[in-house]
Structure 1
Amino acid sequence: MKVLIAAAGSHGDIAPYTGLGVRLREAGHEVALTTHGSDASLVSLIRSAGLQPRPLSADPRGHGAASLRTAAAFLKDLAPGLVRATEDDPPDLLLLSTTTAPLGVHLAEALDIPALGVPLQPTEPTGDFAPPGGGARSLGRRGNLWAGRLSRRVVGRLYREPVRALRTELGLPPLTARAVRRRGRTRGGGVAHGFSPALLARPADWRPGATVVGNWWPYVPADTRLPAELADFLASGPAPVLVGFGSMPAGRARGGEPLGSVVVRALRRAGVRGILQAGAAGLSPGEHLADGDMLAIGPVPHELLFPHVAAVVHHGGAGTTAAALRAGVPGVPVPVTADQPFWAGRLAAAGAGTPPVPFASLSWPDAVDRLAAPVERAVRDQGLRAAAGRIAGRMAEEDGAAEVLRQAESLAAARRPPIT
């Protein structure tokens, strides 16, 4: 079976699907994964996993700061890119991320193939919690459900024009807005959410076919090792605290002080050693490296590094939050946007992380104190580590990729003609 995993967004939005692709490939399927061609490291990761990269012309980094207008421009570019990703070698099955699903279901219709949703965030309205884009605060059961439905309508409006143009390009008849929403929920019928029920259990009011299967993880080649300088630093003293904000912009504190300098001062006030991971934000300790208690690093697989740190200060992205829990390490979430406040709230509610520190507060005059206090708590509070360890134990028993494989093969089998 030929499978196309259609994912789009930042590096962290796409990288986890390499591990899912490997599981499908090992089961004998031919797997391709969409990616943004400008991210050379991601293309390299996809190739090293034995998957076929399918470059997309749309790149979220080319649309400036996040807003409804820039999101609409990105989606307008994304739709024809998905078509091109299937033209030369059409798949038998589509696996669709949160971002690509509202477009991918129409592509599946045109190709007459099944599609399975594989989002990393909850996508169904529920009374249990507010939609991920609405933050962590519950609005009560009726309010949460209403907000979830409203969020779905807002997303539908954002995709309306790209969907219209896509259906025209594919030669499909036009649909009403209501029909588009229904089509998005019924093509193939299933949604396998890729997060751990240990962190967020499946709500009882979700529709049939919407499941929570557990995480899948970025592929890490078997011969990958920690860089020698990093391994030496880890071995030279107490477990450090890792600070990294992924693809989020770093910015500067009030008065023009680099954020890396604020982070270093907060770590020292908390009495801990630190590792600053640059990421897209370019986070760096600058001149503070001289004292030997801080280290600046580039990309390193979470799977290899996180088990060796005392805590992780991160932006609250779905993948980073899950990776820290997988390692049994407490988190200090510093959410910026999108679903990050939601996961930061879930982490704190699970007792495996401190209350969130708003990213914007790191530019305030008391930023050092605001960050130092939760870092110290994350390192000293054994209750946080115990909770993270319990979740890690449950996650070790889950296999989200295996469940996606089962559902994908079941969908494909249902489409095959009977043997006569």
Structure 2
Amino acid sequence: RPVVRPLPAGAAPGADAGREWTDNGALSFLAEASDLLAGHTDEDKVASLAGQLVVPRFADWCAVWLRDDDRSRLPRLARVWHAHESHIEELRAALLQDPPPAAPRTLPGRAVACPWPSAGAARDGRTPGAAVRCDLVVGGRSVGTLMIGRAGLARLPDEVLGLIEDFARRVALAVLSARRYALQANISRILQRGLLPREEVAVPGLDTALVYEPAGEGTWAGGDFYDLLRLPDGRWRFALGDVCGSGPEAAVVTGLARPVLRLLAREGYSVPETLDRLNREVGEQARFLSVVYGELAFRDGLVDCTLTCAGHPLPLVRDASGTVRPAARPQLLLGVEQETAYESQSCTLHPGDTLLCVTDGVTERRRGRQLFDDGDGLAALFADCAGLDATGTAERLRRAVYAFAPELPADDLAMLVLRSPAPDEAPASG
């Protein structure tokens, strides 16, 4: 990759000097800048990277101001970078005292000369130089200002000004992209808080553990979801589901599913009746939903489980001897056929038995062509968790999912572990 050589201090500011700066890799520099700036999700990191790209290749120092949508607020000095680190704080103090004004409306995104920072800050050998500022403009809107300075020059060559303008446009696009990502991530966090239970996940009398890890940073809410609900008569309902797809449309289905499940359970509908009605609601949204939905009833040290598995990885039960078996039969995804009649299956958790429910972020974790659950891999690993409590079981499975492939999971990861304590164990508290 060609290297852009910085103009020697004291060099003449004529056309030859401009070519010295721009002819030795200017296009390579802009391509590198576009590549490095793209994809950043934090506007302050974009500002920091911009300074490091410019200094010392084209300038002795660089400063970036960021401006939000509230025009009444002054721009924020986000980053100051200097070829000599000992000058950074001095330069910052001077720039805070005398921030650059916005460029004239007639020169949007153009580099214009501006005064060297006051009090002799940012000097190199106490020799002042030339400074320019360039508004960071994208879509006709300024998102900030880039300012650079080079000691020992009366003015910056025109060739360099053009290069800085091209660079500033790339910085502006990266800042706007980072802001949009941050806005989406914030909306997602707000949605996620509203779509999941606020209360602690625990069922009195059972050892309970939950793993819930959305894939990616700042992704849209609306993938996997879970719920636990105590009914007035002491029974419990639980759900672990996965909306097909992502984005706000999937979040709508997630936002629909949990309230409907809760409402119908409180109104006395059975497990299959509840899914019959939710199936019709999901079908009207033109989306699909997989879910394992069940009820827990306690009697004489036993836990009776009523389960329905609709298009979801089958729930598994491990008994005290370590034998693992499916706890339900597979049935159709919700939203495929509105007139589907769902059925439930029953099992009983004896002391020492454990019920495991997972989403396909576990079973379909991929390593090349191999899936985590190929050859009943999940059941084999679950059987090997004998002697572990619910938290230990969940953690061993979680670590195994991550260790299965070198890259991070591309799908949400969720699992619910419900274990009936053995007679010599203290029951879980509510």
Q: TM-score, normalised by structure 2?
A: 0.22
> Which of the two has greater helix per residue?
1
Q: TM-score, normalised by structure 1?
A: 0.23
Higher Cα Rg, which structure = 2
